[in-house]
Amino acid sequence: MTAYLNGQFLPLDEARISPLDRGFLFADGAYEVVPVYQRRPFLVEAHLQRLQRTLDGIGLPNPHTFAVWRELLQRVLADSAFDDQALYLQVTRGADSKREHAFPSAVAPTVFICSHALVSPSAAQRELGVAALSVADSRWLHCDLKTVALLANVLLRQQAVAVGCAEAIMLRDGLLTEGASSNVFLVSDGVLLTPPADQRILAGISRQLVLELADRNGVPCEIRDVSEAEMRSADELWLTSSTREVLPVSTLDGQAVGSGVPGPLGRQMAAWYRAYREQATRRVDV
């Protein structure tokens, strides 16, 4: 499996970084996960734009132009054994010669890219929905930045997995925020609801696509704060992410969501999403 590290393409298991890398010491870095279907990256421009926003947000100059990023990503995905992939890129503030919190001067960033087989939800999960656990959002207040500081997300996801759930859904001050690695939508009386993309959540690329598909298809939609009570009485609850697309939640804390089976709008949205994605990543036969 080919990876890219700081100017070199090499087998992933030969890639090495310094223990003084600020990604390792301070989680001082940004990342993106770009889904690839039929060897075509999906919505890559939007991912590169969000990477730019994260880098701007943490004061780290982007080491590459979008054109160079595209080339590097293309090379790594082309070398993969899989047609459908989760392409991962990470930029950190690099490795200084000492451990010091403040930004080092004149240190080159670390740039890393690798790709794995895309692990999508199973047919049964799509059909029947998944279990979710509600948890208190214990993260910092820059959840809009896609940084590698993911320990809170990791611990909350693990808490969910330990009780047989597929995702942890977070609440802050009595309001829904998002999943440990997904955004959350709910349907209430035929209206699609999702929290605003402020500093409390990551502005998901799939969240944005779902909002566009809702708009295009005339689905009434409100982007506003969602209370815990609204979430618990929702007719439908969905997770969205680049790897899960639109995935229904059938139980929350062991209680049925709506009727306990995925609802009609979620099914419809998943179909619209898939049709859009298939159109965008269609292999052109030559």
Question: What string marks each residue from 91 to 130 as x (binds ligand PDD by CB under 6 A) or -?
Answer: ----------------------------------------
Structural tokens at position 86: 């989760």
Residue 269 to residue 238: CA distance in whole angstroms: 10
Q: Which is nearer to ligand PDD, 92 or 183 (CB)?
A: 183
Contact flag: residue 204 with ligand PDD (CB under 6 A) = yes
Instruction: Please select the residue that binds ligand PDD; options are 80, 194, 242, 250, rule is CB under 6 A.
Output: 242
**Could you tell me the smallest distance in angstroms from the CB atom of residue 33 to ligand PDD?**
4
Q: Which is nearer to ligand PDD, 12 or 148 (CB)?
A: 148
8 A C-beta contact, residue 224 and residue 195: yes
* Catalytically annotated residue among 146, 157, 244, 277: 146
Binding span for ligand PDD by CB under 6 A among 161-169, 178-186, 229-237, 261-269: 178-186
Closest CA relative to residue 211, chosen from 238, 177, 180: 238
Is residue 54 a contact point for ligand PDD (CB under 6 A)? no
CB 192, min distance to ligand PDD, A: 16
Answer for which of 2, 54, 181, 250 binds ligand PDD (CB under 6 A) is 181
146 is catalytic: yes
- The size of the interface with ligand PDD (CB under 6 A), counted in residues, is 15
Does the footprint of ligand PDD cover residue 132 (CB under 6 A)?
Answer: no
41 scored as a contact of ligand PDD (CB under 6 A): no
Selected range binding ligand PDD among 51-59, 97-105, 126-134, 237-245, rule: CB under 6 A: 237-245
Q: Are 252 and 170 in contact (CB under 8 A)?
A: no
Q: By CB under 6 A, tell whether 183 contacts ligand PDD.
A: yes
Verify binding: residue 177, ligand PDD, rule CB under 6 A: no
Q: Does 195 bind ligand PDD (CB under 6 A)?
A: no
Residues making contact with ligand PDD (CB under 6 A): 33, 153, 178, 181-183, 202, 204-207, 240-243
Residues catalogued as catalytic: 146
